[in-house]
């Protein structure tokens, strides 16, 4: 499981000309799920996301987590995070999990993040063509892969 976490001052996602999710400050999390992922990957990654200290404290140091700043999460499924580009110019997505595997893990991630943050998680629509708008604050962008825990 791979996540690209962007600290944002605001963000929204639009599907078929309708906003399906929006937040003020917090994280946009682009989530890629691969065949090898398990519910344990969801739990580990969700804990990392909510405890990630990348908001500035009073001295301007990245020392505060999402809860410290009353931040929100906009979660977007993105299978293209597992693009393989070694051969040719057309990416292969063979490592990305198929919907029958990915959707339950994506839904588990939503529930886990809601449980940890005690807030509703804003989302796009799994598998839809989405338009994501955001203002990256910093910019601060962090990539976390559950296969690189050590």
Task: Out of 20, 38, 80, 112, pick the active-site residue.
Answer: 80
- Any idea where the domains of the chain sit in the sequence? 2-145
Class of 2-145 in CATH: alpha beta
What would the pLDDT profile of 99-120 be if each residue is shown by its tens digit? 999 999 999 999 999 999 999 9
Q: Which residues of 73-112 are buried (b: 16+ CB within 10 A; e: fewer)?
A: bbbbbbbebbeeeeeeeeeeeebbbeeeebeebbebbbeb
C-beta neighbour count of 114 within 10 angstroms: 14
123 is annotated as an active-site residue: no
Question: Which pTM does this prediction carry?
Answer: 0.94
pLDDT confidence band for 95 (50 / 70 / 90): confident
């Amino acid at each position: 499981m791979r996540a690209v976490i962007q600290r944002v001052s605001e963000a929204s996602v639009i599907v078929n000309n309708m906003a399906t999710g929006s937040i003020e400050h917090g994280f946009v999390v682009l989530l890629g799920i691969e065949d090898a992922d398990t519910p344990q990957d969801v739990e580990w990654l969700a804990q990392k996301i909510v405890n990630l200290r990348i908001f500035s404290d009073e001295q301007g140091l990245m020392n505060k987590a999402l809860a410290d700043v009353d931040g929100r999460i906009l979660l977007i499924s993105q299978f293209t995070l597992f693009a393989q580009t070694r051969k040719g110019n057309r990416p292969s997505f063979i490592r990305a999990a198929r919907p029958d595997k990915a959707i339950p893990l994506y839904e588990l991630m939503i529930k886990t993040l809601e449980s940890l943050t005690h807030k509703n998680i804003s989302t796009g629509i799994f598998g839809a063509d989405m338009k994501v708008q955001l203002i990256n604050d910093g910019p601060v962008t962090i990539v976390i892969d559950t296969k690189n825990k050590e």
